[in-house]
Amino acid sequence: MVSASTTQVLAATRQWLKPLVHVLIRCGITWREFAEVAKTTYVEVATSKFGKRGRPTNVSRTAVLTGLARREVRRQRERLAEGPEALTGYVTKASLVLSAWHLDPQFLDSTGKPALLALDGEGATFAALLRRCGAGDVPSSTLLKELRSAGAIRKAADGRIEPLQRMYVPQKMDEELIRLWGTVLADVAATYVHNLTRDGKTPARFERAALNDRVLASALPEFREFLNHEGQAFLERVDSWLTAHEAKESAGGSAKATIRLGAGVYHLQD
Protein backbone atom coordinates (compact mmCIF):
# COMPACT_ATOMS: atom_id res chain seq x y z
CA MET A 1 0.00 0.00 0.00
CA VAL A 2 1.35 3.42 -1.02
CA SER A 3 0.88 6.02 1.71
CA ALA A 4 -0.99 9.18 0.70
CA SER A 5 1.03 12.39 0.78
CA THR A 6 0.01 15.52 2.70
CA THR A 7 -0.72 17.23 -0.62
CA GLN A 8 -3.07 14.42 -1.65
CA VAL A 9 -4.87 14.45 1.70
CA LEU A 10 -5.38 18.22 1.52
CA ALA A 11 -6.61 17.99 -2.08
CA ALA A 12 -9.16 15.35 -1.04
CA THR A 13 -10.16 17.48 1.96
CA ARG A 14 -10.77 20.48 -0.28
CA GLN A 15 -13.00 18.31 -2.45
CA TRP A 16 -15.39 17.37 0.36
CA LEU A 17 -15.12 20.81 1.96
CA LYS A 18 -16.70 22.55 -1.04
CA PRO A 19 -20.29 21.33 -0.47
CA LEU A 20 -19.83 21.86 3.28
CA VAL A 21 -18.67 25.47 2.85
CA HIS A 22 -21.53 26.05 0.41
CA VAL A 23 -24.02 25.37 3.22
CA LEU A 24 -22.01 27.36 5.78
CA ILE A 25 -21.98 30.46 3.58
CA ARG A 26 -25.70 30.17 2.89
CA CYS A 27 -26.28 30.08 6.66
CA GLY A 28 -24.05 33.09 7.38
CA ILE A 29 -21.15 31.17 8.94
CA THR A 30 -17.83 32.96 8.36
CA TRP A 31 -14.43 31.35 7.86
CA ARG A 32 -13.39 32.55 11.30
CA GLU A 33 -16.30 30.77 12.96
CA PHE A 34 -15.45 27.62 11.02
CA ALA A 35 -11.77 27.96 11.90
CA GLU A 36 -12.64 28.24 15.59
CA VAL A 37 -14.82 25.13 15.42
CA ALA A 38 -12.04 23.31 13.53
CA LYS A 39 -9.49 24.32 16.18
CA THR A 40 -11.68 23.04 18.99
CA THR A 41 -12.44 19.82 17.13
CA TYR A 42 -8.73 19.21 16.47
CA VAL A 43 -8.10 19.33 20.22
CA GLU A 44 -11.15 17.19 21.00
CA VAL A 45 -10.19 14.44 18.52
CA ALA A 46 -6.46 14.52 19.33
CA THR A 47 -7.29 14.23 23.04
CA SER A 48 -9.84 11.42 22.79
CA LYS A 49 -8.58 9.34 19.84
CA PHE A 50 -4.79 9.50 20.06
CA GLY A 51 -4.11 8.66 23.69
CA LYS A 52 -2.09 5.67 24.80
CA ARG A 53 -3.24 2.70 26.88
CA GLY A 54 -6.79 4.03 26.94
CA ARG A 55 -5.86 7.37 28.46
CA PRO A 56 -6.61 10.83 27.00
CA THR A 57 -3.71 12.43 25.13
CA ASN A 58 -1.76 14.84 27.34
CA VAL A 59 -1.46 18.55 26.56
CA SER A 60 2.08 18.36 25.14
CA ARG A 61 1.32 15.54 22.71
CA THR A 62 -1.96 17.19 21.70
CA ALA A 63 0.01 20.33 20.89
CA VAL A 64 2.41 18.32 18.71
CA LEU A 65 -0.42 16.52 16.89
CA THR A 66 -2.50 19.64 16.23
CA GLY A 67 0.21 22.25 15.71
CA LEU A 68 -1.32 24.44 18.43
CA ALA A 69 0.57 25.98 21.32
CA ARG A 70 0.07 24.24 24.67
CA ARG A 71 -1.63 27.35 26.03
CA GLU A 72 -4.15 27.20 23.19
CA VAL A 73 -4.70 23.47 23.77
CA ARG A 74 -5.54 24.19 27.42
CA ARG A 75 -7.91 27.00 26.38
CA GLN A 76 -9.72 24.74 23.95
CA ARG A 77 -9.98 21.97 26.55
CA GLU A 78 -11.56 24.44 28.96
CA ARG A 79 -14.11 25.33 26.29
CA LEU A 80 -14.87 21.69 25.68
CA ALA A 81 -15.33 21.12 29.42
CA GLU A 82 -17.79 24.02 29.60
CA GLY A 83 -19.88 22.62 26.73
CA PRO A 84 -20.88 23.97 23.32
CA GLU A 85 -22.55 27.05 24.82
CA ALA A 86 -19.11 28.42 25.71
CA LEU A 87 -18.05 28.50 22.04
CA THR A 88 -18.67 31.96 20.64
CA GLY A 89 -17.98 32.61 17.00
CA TYR A 90 -16.78 35.58 15.01
CA VAL A 91 -19.66 37.91 14.13
CA THR A 92 -20.01 39.02 10.51
CA LYS A 93 -20.02 42.72 9.70
CA ALA A 94 -23.60 42.43 8.51
CA SER A 95 -24.62 40.96 11.87
CA LEU A 96 -22.69 43.67 13.74
CA VAL A 97 -24.51 46.35 11.77
CA LEU A 98 -27.94 44.88 12.54
CA SER A 99 -27.07 44.38 16.22
CA ALA A 100 -25.79 47.94 16.66
CA TRP A 101 -28.86 49.25 14.85
CA HIS A 102 -31.02 47.60 17.52
CA LEU A 103 -28.86 48.51 20.54
CA ASP A 104 -26.88 51.71 19.99
CA PRO A 105 -28.86 54.73 21.30
CA GLN A 106 -27.53 56.87 18.45
CA PHE A 107 -29.49 54.75 15.95
CA LEU A 108 -32.70 54.30 17.95
CA ASP A 109 -35.87 56.39 17.68
CA SER A 110 -37.72 58.03 20.58
CA THR A 111 -39.49 54.77 21.43
CA GLY A 112 -36.23 52.80 21.66
CA LYS A 113 -36.76 50.99 18.38
CA PRO A 114 -34.29 50.99 15.46
CA ALA A 115 -34.66 54.26 13.57
CA LEU A 116 -35.15 54.54 9.84
CA LEU A 117 -31.83 55.75 8.43
CA ALA A 118 -30.89 57.80 5.41
CA LEU A 119 -28.09 56.31 3.35
CA ASP A 120 -25.63 59.13 4.11
CA GLY A 121 -25.45 62.74 5.24
CA GLU A 122 -25.22 64.30 8.69
CA GLY A 123 -26.08 62.62 11.98
CA ALA A 124 -27.37 59.06 12.31
CA THR A 125 -27.14 57.53 8.84
CA PHE A 126 -26.49 54.11 7.42
CA ALA A 127 -22.97 55.19 6.47
CA ALA A 128 -22.38 56.38 10.04
CA LEU A 129 -23.66 53.04 11.34
CA LEU A 130 -21.15 51.19 9.15
CA ARG A 131 -18.30 53.32 10.46
CA ARG A 132 -19.46 52.75 14.03
CA CYS A 133 -19.30 48.96 13.49
CA GLY A 134 -15.90 48.98 11.80
CA ALA A 135 -17.50 48.11 8.47
CA GLY A 136 -16.49 51.32 6.76
CA ASP A 137 -14.13 49.39 4.48
CA VAL A 138 -17.11 47.65 2.86
CA PRO A 139 -19.03 49.71 0.26
CA SER A 140 -22.42 50.61 1.71
CA SER A 141 -24.08 49.52 -1.54
CA THR A 142 -22.62 46.01 -1.11
CA LEU A 143 -23.89 45.64 2.46
CA LEU A 144 -27.27 47.06 1.48
CA LYS A 145 -27.58 44.53 -1.33
CA GLU A 146 -26.66 41.61 0.96
CA LEU A 147 -28.97 42.70 3.78
CA ARG A 148 -31.84 43.27 1.37
CA SER A 149 -31.26 39.87 -0.27
CA ALA A 150 -31.40 38.23 3.18
CA GLY A 151 -34.67 40.00 3.98
CA ALA A 152 -33.01 41.88 6.85
CA ILE A 153 -33.84 45.41 5.63
CA ARG A 154 -36.16 47.24 3.26
CA LYS A 155 -36.39 50.72 1.77
CA ALA A 156 -39.27 52.81 3.13
CA ALA A 157 -41.46 55.01 0.96
CA ASP A 158 -39.39 58.09 1.82
CA GLY A 159 -36.15 56.36 0.73
CA ARG A 160 -34.83 55.68 4.22
CA ILE A 161 -33.71 52.20 5.24
CA GLU A 162 -35.63 50.13 7.81
CA PRO A 163 -34.29 47.01 9.59
CA LEU A 164 -36.58 43.99 9.61
CA GLN A 165 -34.55 41.54 11.69
CA ARG A 166 -31.71 41.55 14.15
CA MET A 167 -29.62 38.67 12.78
CA TYR A 168 -28.04 38.27 9.35
CA VAL A 169 -28.64 34.89 7.72
CA PRO A 170 -28.01 35.00 3.94
CA GLN A 171 -30.43 32.19 3.12
CA LYS A 172 -32.55 30.47 5.75
CA MET A 173 -32.44 26.68 5.90
CA ASP A 174 -34.78 24.27 7.63
CA GLU A 175 -33.56 23.49 11.16
CA GLU A 176 -34.39 19.78 10.96
CA LEU A 177 -32.71 19.41 7.56
CA ILE A 178 -29.55 21.02 8.93
CA ARG A 179 -29.51 18.53 11.82
CA LEU A 180 -30.01 15.68 9.34
CA TRP A 181 -27.23 17.10 7.14
CA GLY A 182 -24.82 16.98 10.06
CA THR A 183 -25.81 13.45 11.03
CA VAL A 184 -25.63 12.01 7.50
CA LEU A 185 -22.24 13.57 6.74
CA ALA A 186 -20.90 12.34 10.07
CA ASP A 187 -22.15 8.81 9.36
CA VAL A 188 -20.59 8.69 5.88
CA ALA A 189 -17.32 10.12 7.23
CA ALA A 190 -17.27 7.62 10.10
CA THR A 191 -17.62 4.74 7.63
CA TYR A 192 -14.66 6.01 5.62
CA VAL A 193 -12.56 6.62 8.74
CA HIS A 194 -13.22 3.03 9.80
CA ASN A 195 -12.18 1.67 6.41
CA LEU A 196 -9.12 3.92 6.22
CA THR A 197 -7.83 3.14 9.71
CA ARG A 198 -8.87 -0.48 10.35
CA ASP A 199 -6.28 -3.20 10.81
CA GLY A 200 -6.17 -6.36 8.70
CA LYS A 201 -8.29 -8.35 11.17
CA THR A 202 -11.17 -5.85 11.34
CA PRO A 203 -13.83 -6.23 8.61
CA ALA A 204 -14.45 -3.25 6.35
CA ARG A 205 -17.83 -1.54 6.44
CA PHE A 206 -19.87 -1.81 3.26
CA GLU A 207 -19.45 1.21 0.97
CA ARG A 208 -20.29 1.03 -2.71
CA ALA A 209 -21.50 3.40 -5.40
CA ALA A 210 -23.04 2.88 -8.85
CA LEU A 211 -22.02 5.79 -11.06
CA ASN A 212 -21.80 6.57 -14.77
CA ASP A 213 -20.57 9.94 -16.09
CA ARG A 214 -22.13 9.55 -19.57
CA VAL A 215 -25.83 9.27 -18.77
CA LEU A 216 -28.26 11.29 -20.89
CA ALA A 217 -29.56 14.30 -18.96
CA SER A 218 -33.04 13.52 -20.29
CA ALA A 219 -32.99 10.28 -18.25
CA LEU A 220 -32.87 12.17 -14.91
CA PRO A 221 -36.64 12.10 -14.17
CA GLU A 222 -36.75 8.37 -14.88
CA PHE A 223 -33.72 7.79 -12.65
CA ARG A 224 -35.35 9.73 -9.79
CA GLU A 225 -38.45 7.55 -10.05
CA PHE A 226 -36.36 4.38 -10.27
CA LEU A 227 -34.20 5.32 -7.26
CA ASN A 228 -37.17 6.43 -5.16
CA HIS A 229 -38.84 3.07 -5.76
CA GLU A 230 -35.85 0.73 -5.54
CA GLY A 231 -34.06 2.70 -2.80
CA GLN A 232 -37.16 2.83 -0.64
CA ALA A 233 -37.79 -0.90 -1.15
CA PHE A 234 -34.20 -1.69 -0.14
CA LEU A 235 -34.35 0.52 2.97
CA GLU A 236 -37.63 -1.07 4.01
CA ARG A 237 -35.99 -4.50 3.85
CA VAL A 238 -33.07 -3.18 5.89
CA ASP A 239 -35.48 -1.71 8.43
CA SER A 240 -37.31 -5.05 8.74
CA TRP A 241 -34.01 -6.85 9.32
CA LEU A 242 -32.95 -4.33 11.98
CA THR A 243 -36.29 -4.61 13.73
CA ALA A 244 -36.02 -8.40 13.77
CA HIS A 245 -32.60 -8.11 15.45
CA GLU A 246 -33.55 -5.40 17.91
CA ALA A 247 -32.64 -6.12 21.53
CA LYS A 248 -35.60 -6.96 23.73
CA GLU A 249 -35.75 -6.04 27.39
CA SER A 250 -36.17 -9.01 29.66
CA ALA A 251 -38.85 -9.07 32.31
CA GLY A 252 -36.44 -8.52 35.16
CA GLY A 253 -33.56 -6.61 33.59
CA SER A 254 -32.37 -4.18 30.97
CA ALA A 255 -31.67 -4.81 27.29
CA LYS A 256 -28.48 -6.52 26.17
CA ALA A 257 -25.53 -4.45 24.94
CA THR A 258 -26.70 -2.55 21.87
CA ILE A 259 -25.14 -0.61 19.01
CA ARG A 260 -26.45 1.90 16.48
CA LEU A 261 -26.64 0.07 13.15
CA GLY A 262 -28.02 0.86 9.70
CA ALA A 263 -27.41 1.78 6.07
CA GLY A 264 -28.05 4.84 3.92
CA VAL A 265 -28.84 5.44 0.25
CA TYR A 266 -28.30 8.74 -1.53
CA HIS A 267 -28.63 10.21 -5.03
CA LEU A 268 -25.37 11.12 -6.82
CA GLN A 269 -25.42 13.84 -9.46
CA ASP A 270 -23.02 16.46 -10.84
Q: What pLDDT digit, counting tens, does each position of 198-255 carry? A: 998 999 999 999 999 999 999 999 999 999 999 989 988 998 898 888 887 664 545 5
- Is residue 124 in a domain? yes
Whether residue 19 is predicted with pLDDT greater than 60 in this model: the reply is yes
Looking at the chain, the whole-number percentage of residues with pLDDT higher than 70 is 92
Q: Are 105 and 46 in contact (CB under 8 A)?
A: no
What does the pLDDT read at residue 88?
41
Beta-bridge partners for 108: 114
Label residue 135 by pLDDT band (50, 70, 90): confident
- Is residue 99 in a domain? yes
Burial of 24-44, coded b for 16+ CB within 10 Å and e otherwise, reads beeebbbeebbebeebbebbe
User: What is the count of structural domains for the chain?
Assistant: 1
Closest by CA to 76, choosing from 40, 42, 41, is: 40
Label residue 28 by pLDDT band (50, 70, 90): confident
pTM: predicted TM-score of the whole model, two decimal places: 0.62
Close Cβ partners of 102 (under 8 Å, ≥ 6 residues apart): 108, 114, 163, 166
- Is residue 38 in a domain? no
- Is residue 59 in a domain? no
What does the pLDDT read at residue 204?
95
Close Cβ partners of 30 (under 8 Å, ≥ 6 residues apart): 89, 90, 92
- Is residue 179 in a domain? no
Instruction: Answer with the residue of higher pLDDT: 22 or 26.
Output: 22
Whether residue 26 is predicted with pLDDT greater than 90 in this model: the reply is no
- Is residue 65 in a domain? no
What does the pLDDT read at residue 178?
81
Q: For the range 188-195, what are the long-range contacts, defined as Cβ-Cβ under 8 Å and sequence gap of 24 or more?
A: 188/264
Q: To 5 degrees, how large is the angle CA 192–CA 193–CA 196?
A: 85
- Is residue 128 in a domain? yes
Domain span at residue 135 reads 93-163
pLDDT digits (tens, 9 = 90+) for 72-110: 999 999 989 887 543 343 456 787 788 889 888 889 988
Report the CATH number at residue 99.
1.10.10
Reported in sequence order, the residue ranges of the chain that DSSP labels E, i.e. its strands, are 153-155, 161-163
